Structure 1
Amino acid sequence: MNDKAEQAAQEARGHVEAALAGVDQPVVFGPSQGTGRAKTPPRRRWPDPSVVRKPKKGLLDRLLLFVVVPVHHLTDPIGNFFDWLLDSVTFRRKRRALRGGWGSTAGSLLAAHHTSARRFLVVGRTGLHLVYVGELGSETGWSLPREQVRGVEHLEWAGGMPRKATLRFHFTDGSWGDVAVVSQAWQQMQSQFPAASGK
């Protein structure tokens, strides 16, 4: 059993290093996921990784997209207005997982997690990256220079087992977002950045 876990870790490291080849050297990485407290990002911000096999779309699928996509684009501003209105209520603000909207740095990080590919959050020597691993290989799905990360805080009130932690990443544009890191790597990841205040 231990050999399988070690082999899986080596395979993940190989995928991460292949995705970041020539761009950055990974220092620490771990599987990551959204926390579930943020609403679903708008469809236009969903990533489309090339490492995941895509099912062939038939005529019915195309017709459905022809009807659904315009509805999403029309209702997006209405939903954003109600989110802004509800975010002004203090009890909701404390439990939300995103500040700054989907167009901010934190919003782009959380939107990049909305895919079926396996995701690894990677702290490199020069940047913070999100790497997608799928059936067809690995690729970098989101990147940011380390200087644009203002700090990281571990959310104590976030439940979970010791091997899973919710980290709140604060960025220089004033936004922040919550990401769950599923491994012991969260402690090493947090130590790579300055501590951020809880505001």
Structure 2
Amino acid sequence: MDGSAEQAAREVRGHIEAALAGVDVPVVFGISWGTEGAKTPPRRRWPHPAVLVHVKRKKPLWARLFDLIVIPAVWVTDPIGEVYEWLADHSPFRRRKRALHGGWKSIAGSMLAAHHTPVKCYLVSGRTGLHLVWIGELGSETGWSLPTEQVTGVEHLEWAGGMPHKARLRFHFADGSWGDRVIVGEAWQQMLSQFPPPPKK
């Protein structure tokens, strides 16, 4: 690792430590990306990081019409989507490649929804919990947290490829849900070693 990379890594660690100050001590952390084919969470579950600079621009007419017509339609049809998700969850063919099991109201769903933001997302394994830290123009903050005992296991999905520079990890939670994230860099191996393998069914 050259000097500039070391400096960048120190800055990231500083941001993460600041976000978790008084809450937890980071042990392993890595950039967390979405997986190929992952679904977009419902709009009402999109996060609003305080570290993101919000520039208010006047919406054009087409955007206002979109908000007026399409968004209410999404809310009305959301129950239909929930039924579809439930059916897809119970399909053995789709289960292997799905990025989320349990729906958006589950622990895994909340973790994946918290990633839906333009700021940089770092998944952090601390001494007492698993956290998502956002790093943006205005600093850093914790976007999602869970006690370690609520993580029942983590598995490496080798069929997804990407090694050794990144890997798709599946995080299993106490409510029976699981969610996939791509962890970039060597952190994925260290992250994997922090948790037990998922319980066999």
TM-score (norm 1): 0.93
Assess if the C-alpha contact under 8 Å between 2:86 and 2:103 holds in 1: no
Alignment of 1:41-190 (within 5 A): 41-60=41-60, 61-62=63-64, 64-190=66-192
Give the Cα–Cα distance (whole angstroms) in 2 for the partners of residues 90 and 150 of structure 1: 22
Q: Which secondary structure state, in structure 1, belongs to the residue aligned with residue 96 of structure 2?
A: helix
Q: Which secondary structure state, in structure 2, belongs to the residue aligned with residue 8 of structure 1?
A: helix
Residue 63 of structure 1 deviates from its aligned partner by 5.3
Residue 34 of structure 1 deviates from its aligned partner by 1.4
Residue 131 of structure 1 deviates from its aligned partner by 0.1
Give the Cα–Cα distance (whole angstroms) in 1 for the partners of residues 137 and 200 of structure 2: 39
Give the Cα–Cα distance (whole angstroms) in 2 for the partners of residues 12 and 50 of structure 1: 17
Give the Cα–Cα distance (whole angstroms) in 2 for the partners of residues 119 and 24 of structure 1: 17
Assess if the C-alpha contact under 8 Å between 2:24 and 2:127 holds in 1: yes
**Partner in structure 2 of residue 28 of structure 1:** 28
Residue 99 of structure 1 deviates from its aligned partner by 0.7
**Over aligned residue pairs, what C-alpha RMSD do you find?**
1.6
Q: Which secondary structure state, in structure 2, belongs to the residue aligned with residue 147 of structure 1?
A: helix
Q: How many residues align?
A: 199
Give the Cα–Cα distance (whole angstroms) in 2 for the partners of residues 168 and 27 of structure 1: 19
The residue type paired with residue 47 of structure 1 is: P
Residue 178 of structure 1 deviates from its aligned partner by 0.5
Give the Cα–Cα distance (whole angstroms) in 1 for the partners of residues 34 and 66 of structure 2: 27
Give the Cα–Cα distance (whole angstroms) in 2 for the partners of residues 172 and 31 of structure 1: 24
List runs of 5+ in structure 1 lacking aligned partners.
none
TM-score (norm 2): 0.92
Q: Which secondary structure state, in structure 2, belongs to the residue aligned with residue 29 of structure 1?
A: strand
The residue type paired with residue 15 of structure 1 is: H
Q: Which secondary structure state, in structure 2, belongs to the residue aligned with residue 121 of structure 1?
A: strand
